[in-house]
Structure 1
Amino acid sequence: MEPILDSSQLFITALGFFLAAIVISAFRILREYERGVIFLLGRFYKVKGPGLIIVIPIIQQMVRVDLRTVVMDVPSQDVISRDNVSVRVNAVLYFRVIDSQKAIINVEDYLAATSQLAQTTLRSVLGQHDLDEMLASREMLNADIQGILDARTDGWGIKVSNVEIKHVDLNESMIRAIARQAEAERARRAKVIHASGEMEASDKLVEAANKLAAEPNAILLRYLQTLTEIAGEKNSTILFPMPFDLLKGLFTGGKEGGGKDGADKQ
């Protein structure tokens, strides 16, 4: 009888340990940023957490879901712009799970699915814009990509909060072409500014000529002022042109004065 009792006690002890292990394994602890999707006999039951939860072994299964924001680096993509320029573009994606049930049930692997969707969306959106828009309007492109990804991942329980294009890599020939284009643009602006200055200066010269023509003595004063400025310089020889209109005014003034004197004498 003793061997039988020993075997029965051993069985009871093993059964006690087994039941204790099952009870202990039924308790799960989920952190504040985690949720547990519970399946009952293969069917969705509920979402539990955070804190201490109970999962009945064998009957129920739990899948952990992290609700923190995921920072995903989108690999470099070969993109052909609308003006047929080949570039390599990479970006960074920020998203998080807002519905644990959809993230587990509606898609097999939401991380891989979001990564592939981000790559294809990046290529398709950038392919609809010119190279200048890629370089100068990144905020607009980021908003377009973010809106498309957010709409497509809504059925997966994922919220795309931000998309940032990091680098737009160009080949050496295109970099040189852009540099020549920028140099030509600056030269064009310089010529336009110079022409505008010449036009303003000509308008001022015409205005000054009209004022001098309205007053006969003004040209004489301007002539004397210019002569004074030249005389101030230490030059041995001064060649100064005499305006014909000035001489004509002097001769006309002398004749008029002589005529008046003759009239007085008479």
Structure 2
Amino acid sequence: MMLTGGLAFLIFLIVFLVPTMLKTFGVNQEYERGVLFRLGRLGEQKGPGWYWLIPWIDRVQKVDLRTVTRALDTQETVTRDGVPVRVNAVLWFRAQDATRVITTVDNWQGAVMQAAETAMRDAIGQSDLDQLLKERAVINDRLQEMLARACGHWGVIVDSIEMKDLDIPEAMQRAIAREAEAVREKRARIIKAEGEREAAQTLADAAKVVGSTPGALEMRRLQALTEIGVEHNSTIIAMMPVELIEAAKKIAEK
């Protein structure tokens, strides 16, 4: 009976001491921090590496300090100018202060996601469709600023938030395409008009030079005849030079 009682006591010691010994120390990775609670009271932060604990009295909650990447659910909302849009985004954030993350918010990652979705809807509601299409970087900066204010007191840093996809109604897509086509046509007409104006100015300058230089018109005429003869195999009938015609007129008058 005594042997049986001693064996039972030994088994009890083993069952009690082994878990107790395991609870006397903890280990944190380099990217982890442990928030210590001693009988429910907040203690000092632990880690990285190993640390001692008081068994059955100390409790540690670990926090991962690495950057977390999350894709936000697609949000359906309306822009400031009344266009319904569907937007999704990607969020990068991390815990900066492990103690505040544990003691100020429950499920801190879920809280950041909810705050990001709310901020995205607010930012889109304050922006026009043209801003969403052309100034996406400005919208992203506004989103990050709004999130920083919401999550800063939780001990969380928002590294970046980027809008990924923007879906707009098909009718609005056609309207945007027509607008872009009209802008391109306008640009083409302006370029053509500028080219015609420059060509007219060049011709006017050339006419002034030809008119003020004796024989220039005849030289240009002969050059044109030479070019025609090279390009086309045909018979060319050339008029008499203008100078000879004018000289003949003067002689006839005399």
Same fold, TM exceeding 0.5?
A: yes
Which TM-score band (shorter chain)?
0.7 to 0.9
- Deviation of the 1:250 alpha carbon: 5.7
Question: Within 1, Cα distance between the matches of 2:154 and 2:115?
Answer: 12
Q: TM-score, normalised by structure 2?
A: 0.86
Q: Residue 81 of structure 2 aligns to which amino acid in structure 1?
A: D
2:103 to 102, 105, 112: 105
| Structure 2 equivalent of residue 206 of structure 1 | 204
| Structure 1 equivalent of residue 151 of structure 2 | 153
| Structure 1 equivalent of residue 52 of structure 2 | 54
- Deviation of the 1:234 alpha carbon: 3.3
| Structure 1 equivalent of residue 89 of structure 2 | 91
> What SS does the corresponding residue of 2:72 show, helix, strand or coil?
strand
Q: Residue 23 of structure 1 aligns to which amino acid in structure 2?
A: M
Tell me whether 1:253 sits opposite 2:251 in the alignment. no
Q: TM-score, normalised by structure 1?
A: 0.83
Question: Within 2, Cα distance between the matches of 1:229 and 1:20?
Answer: 108
Question: Within 2, Cα distance between the matches of 1:66 and 1:229?
Answer: 82
* 1:156-207 deviations in Å (ceiling 9; x for gaps): 1111111121111223222222222222221111111111100110110110
2:128 to 127, 130, 135: 130
Tell me whether 1:32 sits opposite 2:30 in the alignment. yes
Count of aligned pairs: 252
Assess, with a 3 A threshold, how the Cα gap between structure 1 residues 20 and 251 changes in structure 2: closer, same or farther. closer
Return 5+ residue gaps in structure 1 as ranges: none
> What SS does the corresponding residue of 1:95 show, helix, strand or coil?
strand
> What SS does the corresponding residue of 1:75 show, helix, strand or coil?
coil
Let me know the Cα RMSD of the aligned residues: 2.7
- Deviation of the 1:149 alpha carbon: 1.5
* 1:66-101 deviations in Å (ceiling 9; x for gaps): 111100111111132233221111111111111001
2:114 to 113, 116, 120: 116
- Deviation of the 1:258 alpha carbon: 5.3
Question: Within 2, Cα distance between the matches of 1:159 and 1:231?
Answer: 80
Assess, with a 3 A threshold, how the Cα gap between structure 1 residues 223 and 42 changes in structure 2: closer, same or farther. same
| Structure 2 equivalent of residue 21 of structure 1 | 19
| Structure 1 equivalent of residue 71 of structure 2 | 73
- Look at both structures and tell me which one has the larger radius of gyration over its CA atoms: 1
Deviates more, 1:111-120 or 1:216-225: 216-225
Q: Residue 111 of structure 2 aligns to which amino acid in structure 1?
A: A
Q: Residue 141 of structure 1 aligns to which amino acid in structure 2?
A: I
Tell me whether 1:189 sits opposite 2:174 in the alignment. no
Question: Within 2, Cα distance between the matches of 1:64 and 1:132?
Answer: 45
Question: Within 1, Cα distance between the matches of 2:228 and 2:57?
Answer: 110
Return 5+ residue gaps in structure 2 as ranges: none
